[in-house]
Amino acid sequence: MAVSIGIYGEQQIAKARFSSEGEKLAKVAIVTDSMACLTRELVESYGIGIVPIRLLIRGKVYRDLIDITPSEAYQFLTEDPESFTTSPSSPGHYLEAYHEASLKASKILCITISSGLSTAYNVARLAREQTQAELPGVTIEVMDSRNVTAAEGFIALAAARAAARGKELAEAVKMAERVRDKVTLLAFLETMKHVYRTGRIPKVISQVGSMLNIKPILTTSSGLVHLKGIIRNREQGITRLLREMREIIGQRQAHVAIMHADVLEEAERLKERIASEFNCVELWITEFSPVMGYATGRGTLGLAFYGED
């Protein structure tokens, strides 16, 4: 695997920029949500604000990545799936994130999950309107990522890396849009028994698909999740993911994130294979947010990636 020193050097720059408490060292601060599936290291390195989506489990509210780990959430999902659901963020949650970000910079870029999949984009914009009186002098722009999972994460990272280089808000937006136009998400599900929870597939079809052991491959386009194909086993799924990525990336340098829903060992093996078969300037593993996992189940494995122009 070829590792870009520039990318990881920028993490050190970002740490320095956000290390002074309460002092506005950066021109732009970045905010996104927990469904972007960014690792803790990346979040801390670039000072990215995360709005945690709420999980409702057995009548108790948990903040994704704060009050509960993905592994713990998936254990609950396995034991008692009917008591497991999610709750969208409120304007108050984004207001809190904006206030925290305003301590770092007077300009904020908030990147949300696709507006075609969630109300987060509209909620984030509503919160922005409410900050006009509370945060005078602070400029907030809200961007629809038109994506989810680490594909959304890569868009937020592009903006954060621009901010780490001292770029203005317009340039951070431009860099995020550039990645948004080319990032790809591919994932396959171990089971279909939970997908009816999305509201897009009838429960009976979900149950039949589970009985037949059908494993769908999903992707995103135009801000929505679409069926890319169907496989019968995990080996076929991994082969299909790699084939699709190879057709898109070719010999170009690649930025790749591997996502998993409580199957870390498989993700690590996939990372080794990708490192040996592709020219990666960036390659990391992250956990598939249980906010989406409540509809996809444990065992989900996926890739988010894009190639250098």
CATH number at residue 291: 3.30.1180.10
174 part of a folded domain:
yes
Longest dimension (CA), the chain: 58
What is the CATH classification number for the domain harbouring 116? 3.40.50.10440
Strand 84-87 and strand 301-307: the pairing is unpaired
Show which of 154, 180, 206 is a domain's final residue: 180
Domain identity same for 175 and 254: no
Domain identity same for 150 and 173: yes
* 195: Cα separation from own chain's centroid: 19
Domain identity same for 102 and 201: no
Token code pair at residue 51 = 């709005």
Quick count: other Cβ atoms within 10 Å of Cβ 204? 9
Domain identity same for 245 and 116: no
pLDDT at 208: 45
User: How far apart, in whole angstroms, are the C-alpha atoms of residue 240 and residue 217?
Assistant: 9
Strand 139-144 and strand 107-112: the pairing is parallel
Phi and psi at 20, nearest 5°, equal -90, 115
Token code pair at residue 262 = 């409580």
User: How far apart, in whole angstroms, are the C-alpha atoms of residue 98 and residue 135?
Assistant: 9
pLDDT at 305: 98
Q: Report which secondary-structure segment, H or E, holds 246.
A: helix 234-249
What is the b/e burial string over 276-291, where b = at least 16 CB atoms within 10 angstroms of the residue's CB?
Answer: eebebbbbbbbbbbbb
Strand 280-287 and strand 254-260: the pairing is parallel
Domain identity same for 105 and 137: yes
80 part of a folded domain:
no
Strand 107-112 and strand 28-33: the pairing is parallel
59 part of a folded domain:
no
pLDDT at 26: 81
User: How far apart, in whole angstroms, are the C-alpha atoms of residue 64 and residue 53?
Assistant: 5
Show which of 147, 162, 180 is a domain's final residue: 180
User: How far apart, in whole angstroms, are the C-alpha atoms of residue 107 and residue 144?
Assistant: 17
pLDDT at 74: 86
73 part of a folded domain:
no
**Pick from 118, 124, 68: nearest CA to 101:** 124
Domain identity same for 147 and 233: no
Averages of pLDDT over runs of 10 residues in the chain (309 residues) are: 43 50 72 95 96 90 88 86 85 95 96 94 96 91 97 98 96 98 94 60 52 79 86 91 96 97 96 97 94 82 95
Domain identity same for 103 and 43: yes
Number of domains observed in the structure of the chain: 2
170 Cβ contact partners less than 8 Å away, ≥ 6 residues apart: none
Domain identity same for 115 and 258: no
Domain identity same for 153 and 189: no
What is the extent of the structural domain holding 27?
5-53+88-180
69 part of a folded domain:
no
39 Cβ contact partners less than 8 Å away, ≥ 6 residues apart: 284, 285, 286
Question: Residue 246 corresponds to which amino acid?
Answer: R
Give the three-class secondary structure for 206: helix
Domain identity same for 97 and 226: no
Whether 291 and 35 have beta carbons less than 8 Å apart is answered as: yes
Domain identity same for 202 and 244: yes
Quick count: other Cβ atoms within 10 Å of Cβ 181? 10
76 part of a folded domain:
no
* Angle, vertex CA 129, rays to CA 128 and CA 131, nearest 5: 65
24 part of a folded domain:
yes
Whether 63 and 52 have beta carbons less than 8 Å apart is answered as: yes
Strand 224-231 and strand 54-57: the pairing is unpaired
Show which of 141, 156, 180 is a domain's final residue: 180
79 part of a folded domain:
no
Domain identity same for 205 and 275: yes
Integer angstrom CA distances of residue 236 from 6, 26, 94: 35, 46, 41
